[in-house]
């Protein structure tokens, strides 16, 4: 390949990953999926409209399709693969399953990251705060009802657990 290539290091899920000889135009989404073996983030619009590729960059939810991977070398990147511990599920993941918030599941990883991020910043969001926080994550299957229910279940469990 005669593309303009470069090697660099990314910090993903608390681990350092070498990206070798990669075209500098690659998005973070592409590098995570195609080079680092983390296909959890999904590509569905390439324009930051659908949220399927949501990851955390220094604690902020971003669309990884809009982030140039080679420009994210200084960032702490967290993906859906870091949620739960790979064996047990997080309360948000568990709530998504039990509430029927998963159908085709393509939007699900992005939503899991978005909801975890929401609850980190706002542990007891109102209904409209939930809707606003998730309005950047498009789901075509569920109509969102079971997703809202899953968030309520997760919030209730966290609240119950902390009392």
Partner 1 sequence: MSVKTRTRRDVLGTSALRPDAVPKVQGKFAFSSDLWAENMLWGATLRSPHAYARIVSIDTTPAWKIDGVECVLTHEDVPGKPTYGLIASDQPVLARDFVRHMGEPVVLVAADHPETCRRALAAIKVEYEVLEPLVNPEKSIDLSVPPIHPDGNLIRRQQIIRGDQNLVGEVVVEGNYELGMQDQAFLGTEAALALPDPGGTGVELYVATQWLHEDRGQIAACLNLPEEKVRLVLGGVGGAFGAREDISLQVHSCLLALRTSRPVKMQYSRQESFFGHVHRHPAQIWMRHHATKDGRLLRVEARVVMDGGAYASTSSAVLINAVTHVQGPYKCEHATVDGYAVRTNNPPCGAMRGFGVVQACFAHEGQMDKLAAACGISPVDIRLINAMETGDRLITGQPILNSAPVAQCIRETAEIPMPPNMTNETDVLAIPGGSGLTATPSKIRRGVGWGVSIKNLMYSEGFDDFSTARCTVEDGRVSLKFATSEVGQGFVTLAPQIARTVLGLDEVFIETIDTGIGSAGSTSASRQTWMSGGAVNGACKLVAINIVADVAKRRGLDPSTLQIQGTDIVDLTGNAVESVISATKDKRFSETYEFHHQPTGELDENGQGDCHTAFAFVAHRAVVDVDPELGLVKVVQIATAQDVGRVLNPLSLLGQVEGGIAQGLGLAVMEEIIVENGRVRNPSFTDYLLPTALDAPDVIARYVEVPDPYAPLGAKGVGEPPCISVTPAIVAAIRDATGVDLQRVPVRPQDICL
Footprint on this chain of partner 1 (rule: CB under 8 A): 1-3, 23, 25-26, 30, 33-34, 38-47, 49-50, 52, 79-81, 83-84, 86-89, 93-94, 96-100, 102-109, 112, 126, 128, 130-132, 134-148
Question: Which residue, 1 or 74, is less far from partner 1 as judged by CB?
Answer: 1
Spatial separation of the C-alpha atoms in residues 41 and 113, rounded to whole Å? 9
- Angle formed by the axes of helices 145-162 and 91-99, nearest 10°: 140
Q: How far is the CB of 130 from partner 1 (least distance, A)?
A: 8
Question: Which residue, 52 or 75, is less far from partner 1 as judged by CB?
Answer: 52
Residues 6+ apart with CB under 8 A from 12: 32, 36, 38, 77, 78, 79
Looking up tokens 């990206």, which residue turns up? Answer: 19
Q: How far is the CB of 108 from partner 1 (least distance, A)?
A: 5
Question: Which residue, 74 or 149, is less far from partner 1 as judged by CB?
Answer: 149
CA atoms 154, 125, 107, 22: torsion sign? negative
Q: How far is the CB of 76 from partner 1 (least distance, A)?
A: 18
Question: Which residue, 2 or 74, is less far from partner 1 as judged by CB?
Answer: 2
| Nearest Cα residue to 80 out of 48, 52, 103, 109 | 109
Question: Which residue, 16 or 87, is less far from partner 1 as judged by CB?
Answer: 87
Q: How far is the CB of 101 from partner 1 (least distance, A)?
A: 8
Spatial separation of the C-alpha atoms in residues 19 and 146, rounded to whole Å? 38
| Nearest Cα residue to 137 out of 61, 69, 51 | 51
Q: How far is the CB of 32 from partner 1 (least distance, A)?
A: 10
């Amino acid at each position: 390949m005669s593309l303009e290539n470069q090697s660099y290091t990314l910090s993903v899920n608390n681990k350092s990953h070498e990206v070798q000889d990669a075209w500098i135009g690659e998005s973070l989404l592409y590098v995570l999926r195609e080079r680092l073996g983390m296909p959890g983030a999904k590509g569905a619009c390439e324009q930051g409209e659908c949220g399927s590729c949501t990851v955390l960059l220094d604690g902020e939810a971003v669309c990884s399709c809009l982030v140039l991977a080679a420009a994210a070398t200084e960032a702490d990147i967290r993906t859906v693969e870091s949620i739960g511990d790979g064996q047990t599920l997080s309360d948000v993941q568990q709530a998504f399953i039990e509430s029927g918030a998963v159908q085709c599941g393509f939007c699900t990883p992005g939503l899991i990251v978005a909801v975890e991020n929401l609850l980190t910043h706002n542990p007891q969001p109102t209904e409209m705060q939930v809707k606003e926080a998730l309005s950047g994550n498009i789901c075509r299957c569920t109509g969102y009802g079971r997703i809202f229910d899953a968030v309520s279940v997760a919030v209730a469990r966290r609240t119950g657990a902390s009392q």
